[in-house]
């Protein structure tokens, strides 16, 4: 897996055909996941946790996923890294299809190198570290599994600790002797132990105090710069996602409703859900333009039987008759800004290739021009 990523022309409509682009590091294509729920002694129903989710992340970039709790963000993260099997769809990592339906793990060396390249930073600083292991044991465990020599394990562990702003001596501490922020740093060090290309951060700072959050976010940014990491950054906190992400994907009830580069999304949200989310976010800047949208009413509908048509229509201030009848198609009312909403009907200018709907991210730099 050390071969250079292939360079392929990406059939996106927003770029000239002559340019050749580097393939995204991670492509998630129409991934769905349903969980069985027992509703009677013999009857089962299915909760659709993630429904036809597509996105992609370029090398060295960050894709943020935002949404209310219960919208399928964490499930999406676990589907990508392979902690949960996928029902439908594909995950393509570095040009290789690594996870398909019913295929939890690849076999042999391919899986092993995949494991090295995809790691995760977990949410809960308490349950993500084994209380019975020292920090050193926690960080060196992935290296042990991958057969690093003892000496290298030890050296790399203290090097990693220094990279995340701790001291090498912290290796002999136990998790309960550390603060929440320090634990999250250990969590990050463990994720980096195998030098991954992709790090999935599942609510990595949600459990921390604001001041500590800022430190950890900056640490993540610095590490990204230094090691060329690619992040899939999942959070319910819009401010945090804006700070971290190049591109943001807004999820509602298992579906992506809007994908855009973070600048465009925060200044010009298109989907009514995104608008409501942004309007409900406290802003410290008194001069900041306010989005005048009434706050969201009601609860997230049960994913057991989601609303017909557009899933957001039950809480949408702009709901129309058509919303109940059919699910909206993904359109691109502005360059690189995709949205799934009936307010933005499909026309010749806004149409998006359905295969790439909500998938490719906007800012793509050509690396080479074909003849």
Q: Is residue 311 a contact residue for other proteins (CB under 8 A)?
A: no
Interacting stretch for other proteins, rule CB under 8 A, among 60-68, 132-140, 229-237, 302-310?
132-140
Q: Is residue 30 a contact residue for other proteins (CB under 8 A)?
A: no
Say if residues 98 and 106 touch (Cβ distance below 8 Å). Answer: yes
- Which of 172, 179, 195, 218 contacts other proteins by CB under 8 A? 172
Q: Is residue 102 a contact residue for other proteins (CB under 8 A)?
A: no
- Which of 37, 155, 167, 354 contacts other proteins by CB under 8 A? 167
Query: With respect to other proteins, which residue has the nearer C-beta, 136 or 306?
Result: 136
Number of amino acids touching other proteins (CB under 8 A):
38
- Which of 126, 150, 267, 290 contacts other proteins by CB under 8 A? 126
- Which of 7, 19, 70, 134 contacts other proteins by CB under 8 A? 134
Query: With respect to other proteins, which residue has the nearer C-beta, 15 or 34?
Result: 34
Measure CA 13 to chain center: 24
Q: Is residue 138 a contact residue for other proteins (CB under 8 A)?
A: yes
**Which residues have C-beta within 8 Å of that of residue 4, sequence separation ≥ 6?**
none
> 249 to each of 235, 242, 257, 271, how far by Cα in Å?
11, 11, 8, 12
Query: With respect to other proteins, which residue has the nearer C-beta, 118 or 240?
Result: 118
Q: Is residue 81 a contact residue for other proteins (CB under 8 A)?
A: yes
Q: Is residue 145 a contact residue for other proteins (CB under 8 A)?
A: yes
Query: With respect to other proteins, which residue has the nearer C-beta, 109 or 289?
Result: 109
Nearest distance in Å: CB 146, other proteins: 7
Return the HEC string of the chain.
Answer: CCCCCCEECCCCCCCCCCEEEECCCEEEEEEEEEEEEECCCCCEEEEEEEEEEEEEECCCCEEEEECCCCCCHHHHHHHHHCCCCECEEEEEECCEEEECECCCCCCHHHHHHHHHHEEEECCCCCCCCCCCCCHHHHHHHHHHHCCCCHHHHHHHHHHHHHHCCCCHHHHHCCHHHCCHHHHHHHHHHHHHCCCCCEEEEECCCCCCCHHHHHHHHHHHHHHHHHHCCEEEEECCCHHHHHHHCCEEEEEECCEEEEEEEHHHHHHCCCCHHHHHHHHCCCCCCCCCCCCCCCCCCCCCCCCCCCCCCCCCHHHCCCCCHHHHHCCCCEEEEECCEEEECCCCCCCCCCECCHHHCCCCCCCCCEEEECC
Q: Is residue 141 a contact residue for other proteins (CB under 8 A)?
A: yes
Alpha carbon distance 312, 316 (integer Å):
6
Nearest distance in Å: CB 133, other proteins: 8
Q: Scanning residues 194 to 213, which ones bind other proteins (CB under 8 A)?
A: 194
- Which of 21, 55, 122, 312 contacts other proteins by CB under 8 A? 122
Nearest distance in Å: CB 111, other proteins: 6
Q: Is residue 142 a contact residue for other proteins (CB under 8 A)?
A: yes
Nearest distance in Å: CB 124, other proteins: 6
Interacting stretch for other proteins, rule CB under 8 A, among 21-29, 78-86, 209-217, 230-238?
78-86
**Which residues have C-beta within 8 Å of that of residue 174, sequence separation ≥ 6?**
131, 133, 134, 135
Query: With respect to other proteins, which residue has the nearer C-beta, 63 or 118?
Result: 118
- Which of 99, 190, 275, 364 contacts other proteins by CB under 8 A? 190
Q: Is residue 188 a contact residue for other proteins (CB under 8 A)?
A: no
Say if residues 186 and 178 touch (Cβ distance below 8 Å). Answer: yes
Interacting stretch for other proteins, rule CB under 8 A, among 131-139, 227-235, 246-254, 315-323?
131-139
- Which of 18, 69, 97, 177 contacts other proteins by CB under 8 A? 177
Q: Which residues contact other proteins by CB under 8 A?
A: 78, 81-83, 111-112, 115, 118-120, 122-124, 126-134, 138, 141-142, 145-146, 167-170, 172-174, 176-177, 190, 194
């Amino acid at each position: 897996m050390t071969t250079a990523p292939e360079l392929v022309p990406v059939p996106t409509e927003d770029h000239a055909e002559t340019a050749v682009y580097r393939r995204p590091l991670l492509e998630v294509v129409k991934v769905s996941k349903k969980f069985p729920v027992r509703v009677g002694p013999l009857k089962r129903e299915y909760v659709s946790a993630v429904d036809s989710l597509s996105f992609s992340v370029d090398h060295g970039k960050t894709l943020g996923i935002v949404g209310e709790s219960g919208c399928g963000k964490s499930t999406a993260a676990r589907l990508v890294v392979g902690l949960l099997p996928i029902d439908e769809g594909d995950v393509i990592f570095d040009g290789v299809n690594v996870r398909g339906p019913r295929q939890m793990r690849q076999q042999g060396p391919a899986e092993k190198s995949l494991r090295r390249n995809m790691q995760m930073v977990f949410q809960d600083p308490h349950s993500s570290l084994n209380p019975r292991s020292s920090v050193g044991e926690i960080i060196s465990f992935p290296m042990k599994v991958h057969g690093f020599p003892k000496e290298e394990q030890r050296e790399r562990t203290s090097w990693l600790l220094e990279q995340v702003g701790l001291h090498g001596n912290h290796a002999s501490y136990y998790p309960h002797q550390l603060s929440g922020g320090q634990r999250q740093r250990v969590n990050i060090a463990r994720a980096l132990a195998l030098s991954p290309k992709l790090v999935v951060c599942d609510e990595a700072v949600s459990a921390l105090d604001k001041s500590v959050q800022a430190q950890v976010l900056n640490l993540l940014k610095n590490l990204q710069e230094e090691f060329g990491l690619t992040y899939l950054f999942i959070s319910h906190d819009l401010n945090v996602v804006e700070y971290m992400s190049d591109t943001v994907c807004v999820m509602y009830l298992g579906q992506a409703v809007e994908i855009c580069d973070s600048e465009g999304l925060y200044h010009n949200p298109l989907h009514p859900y995104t608008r409501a989310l942004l309007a409900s976010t406290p802003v410290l800047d008194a001069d900041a333009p306010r989005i005048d949208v009434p706050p969201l009413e009601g609860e997230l509908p049960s994913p057991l039987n989601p609303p017909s048509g557009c899933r957001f229509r039950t809480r949408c201030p702009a709901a129309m008759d058509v919303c109940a009848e059919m699910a909206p198609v993904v359109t691109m009312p502005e360059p690189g800004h995709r949205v799934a909403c009936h307010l933005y009907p499909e026309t010749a200018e806004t149409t998006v290739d359905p295969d790439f709907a909500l998938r490719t991210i906007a800012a793509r730099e050509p690396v080479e021009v074909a003849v």
